[in-house]
Structure 1
Amino acid sequence: MNLAYWRRAFMVLIGVVSCANAWAGSVGFQELTTLDERGAPIKLAIWYPSSSHADTVSLGWTTQEVAMNGALSEGRHPLIVISHGTGGTYFSHHDTATTLARAGFIAAAVMHPGDNAQDQSRRFFILERPGHIRRALDYLLQDWPGHAQVDAGRIGIFGFSAGGFTALVNIGGQPDMERIIPFCKEHSDHFACQLIAQESIAGRAAHAPMTEQLQTWDDRIKAAVIAAPALGFTFAHRLQRVTIPVQLWRAEDDWILPHPWYAEEVRRALPQAPKYHLVSHAGHFDFLAPCTPVMAQRLPDICSSATGFDRPAFHRAFNEEVVAFFQRTLEVEGR
């Protein structure tokens, strides 16, 4: 056997060892609470690299392999904060959070007060959401028991739907909320416009001013993944302040936020071209974690995908792309 053969064999062996190291350890998990600016509780779900033993645990309607309140692995870890969509929960993207944790990130998902599966009393106060993210970051960097191991120079954000809107404001977007009512007069069939039509409070919320805009723009965030952003049309010509890298995702068959008024408007408005992904045959809710059988039975509208679209397979590729993007843009070495 020649030298080239042994060189190839050695490289394969190195690759096997590297992969083993990349997935060493387990994923720790905690549920904690901090407060928003009104004193309302903000619940957080936090996944992180752990040196503790993991067990199969029932969390909400999911089953996850995690070390409950396990020890945080040694070293400093980059942080990704996650913002769910309207009516979602901090488990909406648990598979993405777990994948991030296995890659060495701390992934902290926010349960937005008044805009979640249990409480939708403030779902039209969408401009409160960026403040929730800011308060969560304050807590994670200052008061969370593991705060000393958070790499404050490597923070990213992941946002889906209303969470995408939230993330865009947090990274410098200035949405024109006055555009909503005129837009809905022309597009009354759109999901957001149907919600507005159902609620007497909607007109007031839709015209809410951009209060404390400088406070919601958070320059601690260095990279963003945005999936199917809600109210994308409000950001037309209003993303000039966004200078960080953005990965932008659009579902081809998104009838909740139909093309071209949402993700496309964001893509056009960003001053630097985002890393753009168009997912063929995907629907809006395909960005949510694949559903358990119980969820599929109780929430068919959210859990159903188009015939032939494999949500679990998509999520394996999606999560890899998200992790790779944050590793690259936050200059994080692969584990």
Structure 2
Amino acid sequence: MANHPDNTPANTSALEPDRQIGQRTPNLAVPGFRHWKNGRSGTPGMALVGGLWYPASRGGLGTAQVLQHGPVFLGQAMHQDAPVQAGRWPLVLVSHGVGGHWRSLTWLEAGLAQHGAMVLGINHPGSTHGDYDMRRSLDHGSRVRDLQAAMDAVLADPELSAHIDTSRIYVVGFSLGGWSALSIGGLRGDLNAYTQYCAASGHRHCKDIARADVDLAQLDAAQWNRSYRDPRVKAVAAIDPALHQGLETSHARDMVSSVLLIGLGAGADRLPDTDFSPGHSTLTSILPKAKVETLAPAMHFSALGICSPQGAKLLAEEGDDAVCTDPAGTDRPALHRRIVALIANEWGLQKPAVPAGVADR
């Protein structure tokens, strides 16, 4: 359920050939980017940090740069601190998985910005790389409060809010972040159902919970099970979401009408903890109007960034998850483009116009 952590600073460099960068979508304008910070999160006393991506005003941009991801993953092309292109854009909030980082999903953030949205990926205190604790990560309501605090801050910023269409606010997440998206969209959890799932299955997340000496039965059921719906959010998308086992129709009674579910992999390549296919989860049956897409060949970690040529070797040397080793036949860049296109089409995003004669470098 975790994104692979990225343990290097988010620095930039001059744009290098695409074979070294990896994450630059052909025929789409390179987006603008700013580092983002807010003093308030869903956890008292903790700040929020993230990355803001947006359609960039094309005049005088110069050569694009790369937001570096360290030795395992390739960087993402962007225009640092570029002006925002004129107009009002949908606002998209992006939520990462357990132990992940907003930089784990820059392909998604930048890709949606290229399709015409202002996109903010944030870190979740307590369940992000460098600040992770199992018990805190299971307080999934704090993740929704993070998203709400980020939303509040962006909408209160005069410069940014002038470029946002407040009638089109969306949330997308991966893994536990997929649950965060569903949760802010109105889906309620069921602590007893998840406790029973762990007792019966013993799958990956359940084993991690047990190793951390956390007793699910002792958590606050009222907080786990309550609604976190935010009416400002008009649509949600969940990529391989977690925590949905054992839910019933009543858990979805407050759900936003527009829901996109994207599953990764087929058969043995599906991660059991995030598998929402019939027979493994009730999710699609309690959300009968949701659009459902299953993409294969792929695996859960195919939703992380494009790996560098030495990425798999470095992970093996560290004894880490083989997040760079996709099933045979997987084209990770093409998979990423497909996911971005599915979300952009579902939300009716429109690619920003590029003035004639302006080349993106």
TM bucket, shorter chain:
0.7 to 0.9
Cα-Cα RMSD: 2.5
Partner residue in 2 for 1:31: 35
Counterpart code for 2:116: G
TM-score, with structure 2 as normaliser: 0.78
Structure 1: gaps (5+ residues)? 1-21
C-alpha distance 142-97 of structure 1, shift in aligned 2 (>3 A): same
State the Cα deviation string for residues 217-275 of structure 1 (Å, max 9, x = none).
Answer: 111111111111101115332112113211111122213524548984221111x4211
Partner residue in 1 for 2:306: 290
Aligned: 1:152 with 2:158: no
Partner residue in 2 for 1:305: 326
1:26 positional shift: 3.8
C-alpha distance 59-210 of structure 1, shift in aligned 2 (>3 A): same
Aligned partners of 1:162, 1:211: CA distance in 2, in Å?
14
Aligned partner of residue 303 in structure 1, secondary structure = coil
Aligned partner of residue 174 in structure 1, secondary structure = coil
1:127 positional shift: 2.4
1:114 positional shift: 1.3
Higher relative contact order (CA 8 A, sep 6+): 2
1:81 positional shift: 0.6
Q: 1:172 aligns with which of 172, 176, 186?
A: 186
Q: 1:269 aligns with which of 257, 272, 286?
A: 286
1:211 positional shift: 7.0
Report how many aligned residue pairs link the two structures: 307
Aligned partners of 2:284, 2:47: CA distance in 1, in Å?
34
1:56 positional shift: 2.1
Percent identity at matched positions?
Answer: 26
1:118 positional shift: 1.5
Structure 2: gaps (5+ residues)? 1-25, 316-320, 353-361
Summarize the alignment of residues 34-53 of structure 1 with structure 2, pairs less than 5 Å apart: 34=38, 35-37=40-42, 38-51=44-57, 52-53=61-62
C-alpha distance 212-206 of structure 1, shift in aligned 2 (>3 A): closer
Look at both structures and tell me which one has the larger radius of gyration over its CA atoms: 1
Q: Is the 8 A contact 1:44 1:109 kept in 2?
A: yes
Counterpart code for 2:103: F
Partner residue in 2 for 1:123: 137
Partner residue in 1 for 2:176: 162
Q: 1:236 aligns with which of 244, 248, 251?
A: 248
Partner residue in 2 for 1:4: none
State the Cα deviation string for residues 155-188 of structure 1 (Å, max 9, x = none).
Answer: 1111111001111110111111122222211111
1:284 positional shift: 1.0
Counterpart code for 2:237: V
Aligned partner of residue 168 in structure 2, secondary structure = strand
